[in-house]
Amino acid sequence: MGEVPGSWKPNNETLAKANAVMDATKASGDLYRNGLGMIASENIISPMVQKIVASDLHGRYAEGLPGKRYYQGCDDFDTIESLGISLAKQVFGAQFANIQSTSGTVSNIAALKALAKPGDKITAVSTADGGHISHARMGAVGLRDLDLSTYPWDIDRMEPDIDGACKLIREISPKVCLIGQSVFLFPTPLKEIAAAAHEVGASVMYDGAHVLGLIAGGQFQDPLREGADIMTGSSHKTFPGPQGGFLLSSSEDEKVQKRLNNAIFPGVCSSYHLHHVAGKVVALAEFEEYGETYAKDIVKNSRALAESLAAEGFDVLAESRNYTASHQVLTRHGDIDSGAGAKAAKTLEDVGIITNMNMLPGDTKALTPSGLRLGVQELTRVGMGKTEMAEVAKLFARALIHNEDLNRVKQDVKNLKSNFQTIRYCFNEEEQSGYIL
């Protein structure tokens, strides 16, 4: 009997590389298990979604749509995707849903492919004002070679200047008016902007990547009822599923729906990560059951965190509007372009609080900004509430204002987190105590 293929003893050097990856993965899990994950674009997945993502689906293909595949062996996945499309329509109140996209940015590329041709005009929020990089020349807008104009910005309200935005739209008659941000504190005055857009024949595209869970939970705004023709979003931020994206529309026009489907496949996706799509479907089912409560608790916690940080002496933006109506809180830690935000983020990481530095109004340098962007969706997901938000604010102050011994603060961060190890707002939460690896 010959040697079984693949059964030989591995070379120690190559095995060491694989083990290094396993060790680093475990260390990353430990970091978040013992620390506070507060990056506004992240979340954790439920026990059931974890199982789906680790299933055999991870390496399979199903190009096309349910019942119209280019591969055999897709009958079971047809069941999964069909259920997911139906759930997405219900959860988001949409007439059309495509759940194949591998990310929010991919959803944006597909939407722009469906809505505009190279050279067409588009309006969007500037990255300097909190717009996402996919809305800029450096991202999807540039990839489609669109002619970008950015809205004037209301710094006090942290939103597009309504009158200025409507004036811009009427002056240049863009093909697409893109709404949405990466820094997203408050609902956008969408009805007014959409009215101006439709007046000049423009399509309205709403990027809800950050706030999609809040929208679905009825706690932010309702873009598809407020004038948006298309809504894109991520499936792993305030919507607590695996990494991926959604493409949604209020249109019942079959030609429009076909164009949107074609923009995803074959437009921007071939294999579209079946294990993540299936995970989205489970997350949609969980959200249907628990999503409204989860979204309410996120908004309560973000407001509580903002108020507590302000009480501790931090400069929290948008005080005149009670700081936030989303999952995000913005804090300024020094002069414009001073790098104070980067320094604060590093100090917080040293005590086990994971955040990200962020440009705030006035900043011009992405690597040396003055601010932090904080998110509470992950802390909420493991059961923290208003009381814990006050504790978190005190930990921030001890590390950043009072300059306490960082090792002592880190131990107290670990102590706090030790009481919050179960993922909530999901099925079978008792099966998962802790983070993956």
395-416 pLDDT, tens digit per residue, is 999 999 999 999 999 999 999 9
Residue 79 CA to residue 102 CA, distance in Å, equals 19
- At 129-187, the pLDDT tens digits run 999 989 998 889 998 999 999 999 999 999 999 999 999 999 999 999 999 999 999 99
CB atoms under 10 Å from CB of 46, counted, come to 26
Assess whether pLDDT exceeds 90 at residue 352.
yes
Instruction: Determine the pLDDT at residue 437.
Output: 45
The span from the CA of 25 to the CA of 230, in Å, is 37
**Dist. CA 74–CA 132, nearest whole Å:** 35
CATH of domain 51-286: 3.40.640.10
Which residue ranges make up each domain of the chain? 51-286, 291-431
Percent of the chain with pLDDT over 70: 97
Architecture of domain 291-431: Alpha-Beta Complex (3.90)
Paired sense of beta strands 159-160 and 153-154, if any: antiparallel
Decide: 245 and 233 in contact? Cβ < 8 Å.
Answer: yes
Task: Note the residue count of the chain.
Answer: 437
Q: How confident is the model at residue 2 (pLDDT cuts 50, 70, 90)?
A: low
**What's the rounded mean pLDDT across residues 211-217?**
98
Average pLDDT over residues 50-77: 95
What is the secondary structure of 256-304 as a DSSP string?
Answer: HHHHHHHHHTTTT-SS--HHHHHHHHHHHHHHHHHHHHHHHHHHHHHHH
- Write down the pTM of the prediction: 0.95
What is the DSSP-derived secondary structure letter of residue 321? G
Residue 49 corresponds to which tokens in the numbers above?
A: 């979604």
